[in-house]
Amino acid sequence: MSPRYLLDSNILVYTLDIRDPDKRQRAKEIIRAVALRGSAALPVQSLSELSNVCLRKLEPALEPHEIRREIERLYMAFRVIPLTAPVVMETLRGVYEHQLSYYDAQVWATARLAQVPVVLSEDFNSGATLEGVSFLNPLDPAFDPATLDEK
């Protein structure tokens, strides 16, 4: 079965960020829901960004062995879509033609080339669609996680 959702790194980061308990709880709920249904994948970029944020920006920062344990857990729970040359080329097209930031364009390009129709992220305009890839912000308090079954 092809995944329905691609998880952006911000969703992963919030599961570990104790500074915002509401977003932390919501992110955990979203990840649990899509993991149980087997309906999501991760771009390898999300794992890399999660690692970097945990080492450099999260307060308190996590130790490398703690981050590795989290990456292993995610790797076991989700299909991980690799970063390839075609993704990089499509990313650059997204930057040029759609004025996306490089890393946002890389998430979009990964979803588009892997034929994953929906990106779950707070970094895009929720409800927007770009060349067949739609964006939803599951951290928005108005978002109902039960709708993940319907999308």
Q: How far is CA 22 from the centre of its chain?
A: 18
Which tens digits make up the pLDDT trace of 138-148? Answer: 999 888 888 88
104 located within any domain: yes
137 located within any domain: yes
Q: Whole-model pTM? A: 0.93
CATH number at residue 42: 3.40.50.1010
For residue 151, the model assigns a pLDDT of: 44
d(CA 90, CA 109): 6
Let me know how long the chain is: 151
For residue 150, the model assigns a pLDDT of: 55
Type of residue found at 93: R
Which tens digits make up the pLDDT trace of 124-134? Answer: 888 899 999 99
Q: What is the extent of the structural domain holding 107?
A: 5-143
Is the pLDDT score of 97 beyond 80?
yes
106: part of which helix (H) or strand (E)? helix 102-113
151 located within any domain: no
Which tens digits make up the pLDDT trace of 12-23? Answer: 999 999 999 999
Is the torsion defined by CA of 32, 131, 81, 62 positive or negative? negative
